Structure 1
Amino acid sequence: MTVPPRRPLTLRDVSEASGVSEMTVSRVLRNKGDVSAATRQRVQDAAKRLGYVPNKIAGALASSRVNLIAVIIPSLGNMVFPEVLAGISEILEDTELQPVVGVTDYLPEKEEKVLFEMLSWRPSGVIIAGLEHSEAAMAMLQQAGIPVVEIMDVDGVAVDSCVGISHRRAGRMMAEKIIDAGYRRIGFMGTKMPLDHRARKRFEGFTRTLAKAGIEIADQQFYSGGSALAKGRELTATMLERTPDLDFLYYSNDMIGAGGLLYLLEQGIDVPGQIGLAGFNGVELLDGLPKQLATMDACRREIGQQAAQVIARHYVEGGSTEPERIELEPKIAFGDTLIRKA
C-alpha cells in the first residue's frame, strides 16, 4: 500500500492555530510591518508547533520544488561524515539532484535553524543524521511533504525512511569479542552522550552485554570537543593512572583510540598482551599506525549511497513509494590490538 503525500501546511493553518489573520501571519513570518510583540510571539509559537516553514520560491515557482537535496550532518571535523557525503554524491551525480550540506555541531537548536532554512527553499528531499530531533525539528520533518531519510542509525522510530546500522548491536558485538578474548578489566572512553545518541546506544549495548557476563565497566571517561589523537593520549594516560589494572580500553571512535595506542606504545606497554584496545568507525587514515587498531566498520559510504538511492527512487516515481528501513551489517576488524580467539 502506498503512503499518500502529506498536504503542505499553509498560512491559513498558522492563522487558525494562532487566532490571527493570514495577512498578520505573513507579516510576522516575513518580519515586515507593525505587529505587536505578543501577536508576533503567538504566531511564531504556532508556526513552530505545527512545523510550518515559509516557501522562499516566489511567484510562478511557488508550487514547485528545486532539484536540491538537503543533507544535514553533525560534523565535518572528523573522518566519518565526508565519506557519507561521498556516497551520496556518487549516486546523485547521475541524476538531476544536487546535495546541499548543512552542519549542526550536534546541537538541537542549530539543527532546527539549518533545517528551517533548507526547507524554506523547498528541496526535493532531506537526508539527515540520526533519529533523535527536537519537537520543532520533528514537526518540520513530518510536515515537509517530501521524502526524508534519517541516516547512520536504525535503533528507533523514523519519520519516514532510515538507513544505517544498529549501534546497540555494534556495542554488543564488540563486547562479545572482548569477552571471548579473555579481557575482564575494561575501561571506556567516549564523547558526552547527551549530544551523541549513536555513541550512547553503542555504550548501552556494550555495557549490557558485559553485565550479562558478570562484568562491570571498571572505569569510564567522557569528553567534549573534537576526536583528536591528542585527546586520546590524554584520556588514556589519565585513566591508566587512575585505574592501572585495566586490561582493555574501548574507545567510542578510532581517532581517540589511535591516540591511546600511540601513548601505550611509547610507554613500552604490550598491546594486546598487557592491554587490548578497540575503537569504532574503521577510519582508513589510520592504516599507517605501528599497529592496526581493532575497530568496526560503520558502513559510512554505503549508508550515503543507500540514502541517496531512496531519495532518487522517490524523485523518479513521484513520491509514491513506501518508507524504507535499511539496516546494514557492521563488521569487526581485529587488527593488532584485540586477541582473536582461535
Structure 2
Amino acid sequence: MPRKRNAHRNADTPTLADVARLAGVSDITASRVVRNKGPIADATRAKVLAAIAELGYIPNRAAGSLASSGSTLMSVLLPSLSNIVFPDVLRGIHTALTETAFQPVIGVTDYDPVIEERILLSFLAWQPAAVILAGLHHTATARRHLEHGRFRVAELMDIDGDPVDIAVGMSHWQAGYDTGKHLVQRGYRRFGYAGHTIASDDRARARYDGLRAALKEAGLLLIAEERVQGGSSTLAGRHLLEAILRKAPGLDVVVFPNDDMAMGGIFHCMHAGITPKEQLGIFGFNGLDIGQALPLPLSTILSKRFLIGKTAAEKLLESRERPAEKTIINTGYDIIEGATA
C-alpha cells in the first residue's frame, strides 16, 4: 500500500528498526551498516542495503542539531553551473532567501539522473527543510524519496507533468510550438534543426516536439537535422550549422535548442559571409544577454530564469508543511523578435 503524502506522512517514515526487521538482523548490525562502522559480512551488508533501498530509509545525520530546532537548509540540485541559465536560477533562489535564516546547499548533477539521485540521498541525510531540483523527471528511487519525505519540494523549469509538490517554470512543448508558429508566420518554409543529444534533456526534447507539431500543422517538416553527441556549446553550434548547410543548402531558417549554439551559428554565418535573417534565419532559446548584445540581436525565446528561482524559493518559504494539493506556477516566456530571424 503506498504511503500517504499528507499530515500522516511522518508516521509512515521508515526507521532503522524497520530496516533491521526487513533484513532479518539486529538494530545494532543495521546501524553499523548505515554508519559503515565495524566488521560486517558482505552477505549481511547486502541484505541491509537491499532493505534500505526497498523501504526508502534515510539516516538522519542532523539528529540532535538541525532536526531538533527545524532545519534551515535548502538542498538545491542543478544540472550545471557552467550553463548561464542555472546561475540565473540560483540568483533568484538566493535573492528570496537573503533576508531569511535559510541557506542553500548546492549540488551539480551534470544532467545525469543517477548522479542526481546520489546527491539527493546524500543531502536528505541532513534533513533539509526543502529540496529544489530542475525538471520533473527523476529516477524511481529519487521520486519515491521526494514523494514520501518530510520536506517541501520545488521542481523548476518545467510544468509539463506531475510535480511532487510545487512546479515552477514554463511549458517547453508550448515554447517549441510557438517558435515554429512564429517563424511560419514570418514566411519561413524550409526549416533545419541543429542541436545536441536530447536523450537526457527532457526540456530540449519537448521544445523539439512542439516545433515539429507547429510545422506539421502548417503542412511543413524539418528538411534537415544535425546533432552533436553530448552537450551543447557555441563551438558545436558553429560546426553544426556548417554541416547542415552542406547537407541542405536551400534552408531558409535553422532553429537551435539554446542561445549558446545559436550564437555559434551566427559565428559561422560571419565566417561564411551569410547575412542572418536576409539569407538565413537563426533562432535560439533562453534570451541570454550576450545574444542580445550581438550587432544583430539574436531572435530567441526569453525564459524567465531568475523569476523561476525566486518564485520557487518564496513559495517554499510560505509553509514547512507540504499541502495536500500540488501547485503549478507558469512563469511564461517572451518571444524576442531580434534581428536574426
Q: Indicate the TM-score class for this superposition, using the shorter chain for normalisation.
A: over 0.9
- Is the 1:78–1:227 contact (alpha carbons within 8 Å) kept by the matching residues of 2? no
Q: What's 1:327 paired with?
A: 330
1:261 is aligned, of 266, 276, 279, to 266
SS class of match (2:111)? coil
1:61/1:249 Cα in 2 relative to 1: closer, same or farther (>3 Å)? closer
How far does residue 225 in structure 1 lie from its aligned partner after superposition? 4.2
The within-5 A match list for 1:162-311 is 162-311=167-316
How far does residue 239 in structure 1 lie from its aligned partner after superposition? 1.0
Q: What's 1:141 paired with?
A: 146
**Sequence identity percentage:** 40
Establish whether residue 6 from structure 1 lines up as the match of residue 14 from structure 2: no
Establish whether residue 151 from structure 1 lines up as the match of residue 145 from structure 2: no
- Is the 2:181–2:214 contact (alpha carbons within 8 Å) kept by the matching residues of 1? yes
- Is the 2:156–2:168 contact (alpha carbons within 8 Å) kept by the matching residues of 1? yes
Letter in 2 for 1:289: L
Q: What's 2:117 paired with?
A: 112
TM-score normalized by structure 1?
Answer: 0.92
Give, in whole Å, the separation in 1 of the partners of 2:149 and 2:255. Answer: 40
Cα shift readout 1:32-79 (whole Å, capped 9, x = no counterpart): 233222222222122223322211124465555420100100001111
Letter in 2 for 1:328: T
Moved more, 180-189 or 246-255: 180-189
Give, in whole Å, the separation in 2 of the partners of 1:48 and 1:272. Answer: 54
Moved more, 266-275 or 72-81: 266-275
- Is the 2:226–2:243 contact (alpha carbons within 8 Å) kept by the matching residues of 1? no
- Is the 1:228–1:256 contact (alpha carbons within 8 Å) kept by the matching residues of 2? yes
- Report how many aligned residue pairs link the two structures: 335
Give, in whole Å, the separation in 1 of the partners of 2:66 and 2:289. Answer: 45
Give, in whole Å, the separation in 1 of the partners of 2:64 and 2:307. Answer: 39
Moved more, 239-248 or 319-328: 319-328
1:272/1:121 Cα in 2 relative to 1: closer, same or farther (>3 Å)? same
Aligned-residue CA RMSD in angstroms? 1.8
- Is the 1:51–1:137 contact (alpha carbons within 8 Å) kept by the matching residues of 2? no
SS class of match (1:33)? coil
TM-score normalized by structure 2?
Answer: 0.93
Cα shift readout 1:157-182 (whole Å, capped 9, x = no counterpart): 11111111000010000010111112
- Is the 1:51–1:141 contact (alpha carbons within 8 Å) kept by the matching residues of 2? no
2:98 is aligned, of 93, 97, 104, to 93
How far does residue 93 in structure 1 lie from its aligned partner after superposition? 0.7
Gap regions ≥5 residues in structure 2: none
